[in-house]
Structures are given as C-alpha cells and as structure tokens.
Amino acid sequence: MTDKITFLLNGERVTVEGLPPTTTLLQYLRERKRMTGTKEGCAEGDCGACTVAVGSLHGGKTGYKSLNACIALLPTLDGREVITVEHLKSKTGAPNAVQKAMVDCHASQCGFCTPGFVMSLSTLLHNKKQPDGEDVQDAIAGNLCRCTGYRPILDAAHQAAQSEDNAMAVSPDVLKELARGKMFRYETPEGKFFAPVTVEELAGVLAEYPDATMLAGGTDVGLWVTKFHMDLPVIVYTANISALREIKKTDAGLEIGAAASYADAFAALADYDASMETLLRRFASVQIRNAGTVGGNIANGSPIGDGPPPLIVLGARITLRSKSGARELPLEDFFLEYKKQDRQPGEFLEKIFVPEKPQTVLFKTYKLSKRFDQDISAVCAAYALDVQGGKIVAARIAHGGMAGTPQRASETEAFLQGRDWNEETVRGAQALLEKDYRPMTDMRASAQYRMDAAKGLLYRFFLETTAPEAQTQVYGYGG
C-alpha cells in the first residue's frame, strides 16, 4: 500500500501517485503542472535556472530554503512546501520587490536564468532583512548568468533589500498539518521510496533492503538519475529523520548528525574554526549546501569531497549503525580505496564527532579550484599541527584530490614530527609530499599542478601560522 506524495505547491495542496520515484521536481513542475517558469539549464544543480524555494518543518519550526528542482526527487518533497516563480506576484499581479528591481536595473537579457535568480534572491530576502554584499554573493553563487555580467543583478538585489516587505506568501501552518510523524512509503512499478523518521525505522528498512540506495541531500544521487539515467529500484531517504539532523556542541567537541545539511552545519563548523568558514563558503552553492549533507559528503566516498580532509586532520570519528548495533571508527579508516568504503550492507552513517582541538593545535584548511564558487576542488588541503614551544609534537595533514580517497600525508607528517616549525622544516615537508601522493591528471588539474599547489598551500599554512601579518590569499583581499 503506497502513500501519496503530498505537498504544498504555491499554496495549494497537491497529491501525486503513479509517477516513478525518480521523477524530479522540475519534471513534475514543467511537464505535469505546466509551470514553465522554472527552467532546466544543466540538470545537475550547477546553474540554478531551476531554483525554487522549499519550506520544511524541523523541530516544530518551518524554514524556507532555495533548492535546485532539477535534482530534487519528487518524493523528497512529501510534507514540504514548494514555491516557484509563478507564486511571487501579489494577488493583484504586482511583481515582488526582487522582480521589480530586476526590471528597473536591466538585470535580465535573454531571461532564461532570470527566474532562478529571482527565486534565490527572493528566498534570501524572505529570510534576511538586511543582507550584506557577501550574503547576496552567497545567495547567487549557484546561479549562472551568461549575458549580463552580474552587475545589474547585484544592484537589483541591493535595491530590493530596501523594500519594506520581502516575505514570500507561505503557509507554515498548513505544512504542520501535512507532517506524517511516521515513515513515508511510496511505491510504483518502477521503484520503492522510503522516508523513515526515526533511526530505528531506517535500520529496519535497510535490514530489509540492504542494497537500497541511500539518499540524503540528493546532490549526488540526483545526478545518477538525471545524468547517468540509472534505475534505482529502492531508495531510502534519510533527511526526514530529526535525530540524524542534530548538531550538538559539547565540551568534548562537535557532534553532527549525518543528515544535517551543510547549510545547517555551516555556523557550527565556522564557529569551530574560522578557516572552516572560508572553505564552506567555497563549498558548492547555497542551493547545494541547503540540500547536501555532511554525512553524504563522506558516505559517497568521493576523493574530492571537501568535508573529509579537515575532518580527518581534526581526528573526527564516525558512527555507523545497523539493525544489529553501532560501531565507531576514525573517519580516515572509512575510506578503503577509490569508490570503496568500509560500510556493510544494512549499515548507515549515523553521526560524525569532531573532537575539540587543543589550544596548541594550529589548524587550517584550504580549497583550490578554477573558480571560487561552486567548483570541485583541484586540491583540498587541511593541516593540524600541534606546536608546543616552537616544536611540532604532532602533525596531521590530509588532502582531497591528491589520491583515490581523501588521504593523509604520512611521510610528511613523520618528517614534521619533532622538528621546529620554521622555514627549513616547511621546505623539507614540501618535498616529502611527493612521496605521499601520486595525483592524477584530469579536467580539473594536471598531476603536476596538484602537487605544486599542494606544496604552495603548505607554505601558505606556514606563513599564516608563523607570520600572521603576511598577505596570502586573494579572496577577500582589499575588503
């Protein structure tokens, strides 16, 4: 017996049955509802032309976030509220402040990306009254425009922010009525979709379907559908499990539920260390961070995920759970080899624990890519050096993009151990990176560049930890 997908679409309750579970929200909007304001530009969450606002109820509170409809599977919308560009005008047909400002500022040319920008900015202004320049840049980092050069769009954002009322017409109370309080099951001849709400339900479903596809934010799995056209017979969706979304700060450290989105974890991680904030700002886009989870970024085992390198050097441990119990292991041990992780059938990633770092630990993490925003790393580096009295007593260094998995630099670490943290040491350490890694050449970077840049980043780390007045980064330079 299948449940029907039930959600609010532009204020109206809609129910869906019979559509395959891998139907995307974008397909549903355009093909079924003929709401064609939401566009497909890339079908991989990288251009933002399909941006919609989605309201979710978590812990009794409703939050509205921008999401990419192109990779959002329709059953994940159950119990949520979707707002598209068609819903922004007032009842009398007047444009909202963002729409008006976009016209006033000549911020559309071909217009194809425009609804996506309008949605990103309308969601920003719904949530934040007085956004600053960085807020605006963050909000549109996942929206590509090929015509305008962005200047008029940025102007429009700031003009719209001056408006008194920037709230979108939403229905948080109706949303509360839609909450199921128990597992959502959706089934068609093409496949099954389960959205448990407790850890126990999740363990039970996975025991029954150990080969199920685990779906959290869908920023990767969505592409298996839209790009690789894979059939996914059983999907288990984890993002409705409140217990897996919790973020707890204790004296011992930071505990992050595996299904916490990067957007939700952003503040806690930024608070943990300022260096994390810069990394996270470069990490994907707002739309993707709103969906993508800390756990998914680990569990998919990508060699180029930006979460693992800093978490590894900070000594993070993860908990894997199944119906038969839980086990904990250091994060780095989870990655066995390229695309192979230490996860047994029926197991799921429950949480990540990041221990509080001692005062004496120097920690930094850096990301390097062709473009600042929404780009996958050529190299992601992280360093945790425990320096006491000028001497290195413990060293942990990890990189993404340098090997088949996120990997520590064991030779380099051994070299650093016990040495003074000075120019000579860092030069020696740079050379040893060549022993630790044999990076590959692909479209993101050559092997040579990855190695050279990793050396450069290590030197940047040295400068920033020994000569804090040195200017070492171009982003944010000059305010």
Considering the complex, what minimum distance in angstroms separates the CB of residue 184 from another protein? 25
**Between 151 and 427, whose beta carbon lies closer to another protein?**
151
**Between 152 and 292, whose beta carbon lies closer to another protein?**
152
**Between 193 and 462, whose beta carbon lies closer to another protein?**
462
**Between 49 and 195, whose beta carbon lies closer to another protein?**
49
Q: Which of 106, 180, 182, 435 binds another protein (CB under 8 A)?
A: 106
Site string for another protein, 137-176 (x = CB under 8 A): x--xx-xxxxxxxxxxxx----------------------
**Between 159 and 322, whose beta carbon lies closer to another protein?**
159
Q: Going by C-beta distance under 8 Å and a sequence separation of 6 or more, which residues neighbour residue 478?
A: none
Separation CA 449–CA 458 (nearest Å): 14
Q: Yes or no: say if 405 and 336 are a contact pair by the CB < 8 Å rule.
A: yes
318 DSSP β-pair partners: 329, 352
277 touches another protein by CB under 8 A: no
Encode 212-243 in three state secondary structure.
CEEECCCCCHHHHHHCCCCCCCEEEECCCCHH
Considering the complex, what minimum distance in angstroms separates the CB of residue 260 from another protein? 24
**Between 30 and 245, whose beta carbon lies closer to another protein?**
30
**Between 154 and 203, whose beta carbon lies closer to another protein?**
154
Separation CA 56–CA 172 (nearest Å): 9
> What is residue 47's three-state secondary structure?
coil
Considering the complex, what minimum distance in angstroms separates the CB of residue 112 from another protein? 3
Q: Which of 19, 37, 243, 277 binds another protein (CB under 8 A)?
A: 37
> What are phi and psi for residue 203, nearest 5 degrees?
-60, -40
Separation CA 159–CA 24 (nearest Å): 34
What is the C-alpha R_g of the chain?
23
Separation CA 51–CA 65 (nearest Å): 10
Q: Which of 67, 118, 124, 258 binds another protein (CB under 8 A)?
A: 118
- The footprint of another protein on this chain (CB under 8 A) covers a number of residues equal to 86
Q: 């079924």: which residue's tokens?
A: 32
Pick the stretch among 27-35, 292-300, 401-409, 415-423 that binds another protein (CB under 8 A).
27-35
40 touches another protein by CB under 8 A: yes
Name the region of 274 (left: φ>0; alpha: ψ -120 to 50; beta: rest): alpha
Pick the stretch among 99-107, 171-179, 199-207, 327-335 that binds another protein (CB under 8 A).
99-107
> What are phi and psi for residue 204, nearest 5 degrees?
-65, -45
> What is residue 134's three-state secondary structure?
helix
In this structure, the number of other CB atoms found within 10 A of the CB of residue 419 comes to: 16
Q: Which of 170, 202, 361, 368 binds another protein (CB under 8 A)?
A: 368
97 touches another protein by CB under 8 A: no
112 touches another protein by CB under 8 A: yes
> What is residue 407's three-state secondary structure?
strand
Cα distance from N-terminal residue to C-terminal residue, the chain:
58
Pick the stretch among 107-115, 199-207, 297-305, 353-361 that binds another protein (CB under 8 A).
107-115
Question: What residues from 384 to 443 belong to the interface with another protein (CB under 8 A)?
Answer: 442-443
Separation CA 355–CA 252 (nearest Å): 6
Separation CA 37–CA 443 (nearest Å): 33
Q: Which of 89, 248, 435, 438 binds another protein (CB under 8 A)?
A: 89
> What is residue 64's three-state secondary structure?
strand
Site string for another protein, 56-85 (x = CB under 8 A): ----------------------------xx
Pick the stretch among 166-174, 261-269, 329-337, 471-479 that binds another protein (CB under 8 A).
471-479
289 touches another protein by CB under 8 A: no
Pick the stretch among 105-113, 166-174, 209-217, 329-337 that binds another protein (CB under 8 A).
105-113
